[in-house]
């Protein structure tokens, strides 16, 4: 069971920051690979997908990596860096492989209608996007417990 005294739901902006970090990491890996396979002509083409290697490097491998991170660690590197994690909404445990796969493909559902399913995170009480609702997950982070300031007189 998710202990809401220890954790809070991660909001929209911290999740955006984690996604930006993850995207930059993927670019650092994908761009050199794409350049090695296709050369600089890759950037001049009008085609959306240049070939099988492009599809594999740009779509398949990132999907496998994200899903594997969710299964193994409950978080991608960006989420780990920002101390957030994806958990099962009912148990608070790491998502199952089925939830992780469903959550990944749920991103497409969340994105297609003008990104409304992603923006939903800002409006939802549990900060769930549509992909979270579809997969039965939430993104949490440990609450920052602040100590009250005590003022003492010094002699």
pLDDT confidence band for 152 (50 / 70 / 90): low
**Predicted structure pTM score:** 0.86
Cα distances from 23 to residues 2, 7, 54, 66, in angstroms, run 29, 26, 16, 11
Domain-wise residue ranges, the chain: 7-142
pLDDT tens for 116-132 read 999 999 999 999 999 99
Give how far Cα 106 sits from Cα of 44, 74, 96, 131, 136, Å.
Answer: 31, 17, 15, 4, 11
pLDDT in tens, 38-64: 998 899 988 999 999 999 999 999 999
Which pLDDT does position 4 carry in this prediction?
Answer: 72
Report whether pLDDT(155) > 60: no
Q: Which pLDDT belongs to residue 151?
A: 62
């Amino acid at each position: 069971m998710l202990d809401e005294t220890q954790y809070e739901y991660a909001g929209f902006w911290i999740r955006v920051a984690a996604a930006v970090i993850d995207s930059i990491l993927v670019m650092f890996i994908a761009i050199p690979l794409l350049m090695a396979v296709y050369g600089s002509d890759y950037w001049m083409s009008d085609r959306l997908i240049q070939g099988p290697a492009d599809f594999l490097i740009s779509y398949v491998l990132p999907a496998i990596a994200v899903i594997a991170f969710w299964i193994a660690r409950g978080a991608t590197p960006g989420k780990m860096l920002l101390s957030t994690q994806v958990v099962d909404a009912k148990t608070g445990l790491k998502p199952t492989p089925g939830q992780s796969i469903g959550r990944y493909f749920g991103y497409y559902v969340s994105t297609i209608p003008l990104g409304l399913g992603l923006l939903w995170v800002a409006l939802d009480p549990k900060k769930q996007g549509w992909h979270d609702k579809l997969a039965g997950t939430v993104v949490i982070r440990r609450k920052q417990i602040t100590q009250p300031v005590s003022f003492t007189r010094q002699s």
